[in-house]
Amino acid sequence: MTAQEKHLFSEYESTRAAESDGRDLLIGNSSRYVILGIVALAAYWAWIFSIFHANVLNPFAAEEFNAYLMLCVIVAGSSALSMGAFVLFGCYLQRMVDRMWFTVGIALLSLLTEAPAFLGQVGGELSFPQAGVLFAIGGFASSFIYLKTGPFFVWLRRAKLMRSIALAFLLASLLYFLPLFMTPVVGISLIASFPVASVACSHLVNKGIGPKRLDAAESCSAYRTAILERLREFVPTLPRTLLYTLIFGVTSYAVLKLAVEQGMVMVIAASIAVSSLAFAVYVLSKKVKADSDLYRMLLLPLIALAVLPFPYVPEMLKIFFLTLIIFGFTCFDAITWGDLADEISDRQLPIYVSYAPPTIGNFFGIFIGWSVGALLYAELGQAEFDTGYSIFSIIIVIALVMLLVWDLIKSRKEESGEPQADAFLDKWKAACEEIAETHELTNQETRIHTMLARGRNQHYIAEELFISPHTIKTHTYHIYKKLGIHSQQELIDMVEAKL
């Protein structure tokens, strides 16, 4: 790097550090927003965990537990549908998400999910279609509750975000335990308060941090353009996300089946508590700055080790295996959110446009996983479900291994260029600037393009520009797209052709 470039990068980092100083401190002016955000996340997760309170929330008789499992599939499907609606109609919805009436509305609608169980406990009775409608409406509202927590996620930098997620996970596991020691009516009432608390805290946080969004004056066509661009960015990671969420979805269905069939809610609660404690110890004991892709590669064997034999281990060992599963998926989610938070912060992207597309992949993947679980149970029955679950899990894990190996090989090929001379030759620099200007690269893309042209790999560039490797990969994707190329070697060849 030249002295001028180093000076520019130093100024950039100083400005960014000054802007984020308050939000990156554990104790500081922003502490109240951090605390509110942690409570918002914890309350939402505790509500989702509470689906496993089959002994409390099941509105039907014990022998009709499959009907309750189908209600949970309905919740997952309607949640995915509402996130899809936000992607399609976000130019209108993003203006409403932070309104008070919208906050109150989704809080009230979310209560409908607990209404069938509450009515059943006080002597009322609902048919499956009636309960299904209430679950569908409550599920539709649930993803908007999750949507409201998003600005808090992407407001923080990676290290602080990981600590906040760890603390929220711990608090959620404690909230999940409480209804187990209450009468059903009181327990259901407490569970119903979780989404209300989540949206209330998120509303206060969003008012305080002022998340960046597309200007309300911009047209819906501009919104659709931005959404399509983000969807195109998300496409390369979509297969991996869907495979992970498919495993998570079908495993969640298997776990819920255990809770309903065998009354293992306490086992599940213990597993969530132990995994949340392990995750908190891991995150709080070190500053997480390693390569995200490397972490994902390490998580894969951990998840596979726990998922594949899970149905066949003794009941008490299920605590250990389920703990590994929950820990693995929690780490995966936290890493994904860390990448996304750094990218949105580094590129100064609008909040809802930026994280709605990847979120829809998560919601639909979980819904498909739950649906596969329901289908396996319906077709195979209780006796053969474990076998079907294991076969499906093996297929998904093999596909995931193949995909991650391919990603690793591709990444190594792109980063294989040898560094060139330390100083820029005038002619070389002029060629890079000409290409950048011709193809309308942004200032940041121009810097990265120049360093790629010198043969620098993505991790080196990330360290030099003080940007996460994930953000460098996103910029590289845009550069390749604008230049009409597919590899770093083609980029170098393009510059050399100008010499």
Q: Where in the chain are all domains bearing CATH 1.10.10.10?
A: 418-498
pLDDT in tens, 266-311: 888 999 999 999 999 888 876 555 566 677 777 878 888 888 888 8
d(CA 181, CA 164): 27
The answer to whether residue 312 scores a pLDDT higher than 60 is yes
> To 5 degrees, how large is the angle CA 117–CA 118–CA 124?
90
Give the model's pLDDT for residue 287.
58
pLDDT in tens, 68-113: 889 989 999 999 999 888 888 888 887 788 889 999 999 999 999 9
Question: φ and ψ at 28, to 5 degrees?
Answer: 175, -170
Amino acid at position 17, single letter: A
Compute the radius of gyration of the chain from its Cα atoms: 24
pLDDT in tens, 437-450: 888 888 888 888 88
The answer to whether residue 134 scores a pLDDT higher than 90 is yes
What 3-state DSSP class applies to 441? Answer: coil
Instruction: Go through 263-302 and write b for each residue having 16 or more CB atoms within 10 A of its CB, e for each that does not.
Output: ebbebbbbbbbbbbbbbbebbeeeebeeebbebbeebbeb
pLDDT tier, 226 (very low <50, low <70, confident <90, very high otherwise):
confident
d(CA 363, CA 360): 5
pLDDT tier, 496 (very low <50, low <70, confident <90, very high otherwise):
confident
Residue-averaged pLDDT of the chain: 81
CATH class, domain 23-412, is: mainly alpha
Amino acid at position 430, single letter: A
Fold of 418-498: Arc Repressor Mutant, subunit A (1.10.10)
423-438 mean pLDDT:
75
pLDDT tier, 430 (very low <50, low <70, confident <90, very high otherwise):
confident
Quickly tell me which residue has 């992970």 as its tokens. 244
Quickly tell me which residue has 């495979």 as its tokens. 243
pTM score of the predicted model: 0.81
Give the model's pLDDT for residue 215.
63
Amino acid at position 241, single letter: T
Q: Where in the chain are all domains bearing CATH 1.20.1250.20?
A: 23-412
What 3-state DSSP class applies to 183? Answer: coil
> Which is it for the CA torsion 197, 200, 203, 208, positive or negative?
negative
The answer to whether residue 475 scores a pLDDT higher than 80 is yes
Give the model's pLDDT for residue 237.
78
Angle between helices 158-177 and 31-49 (to 10 degrees): 50
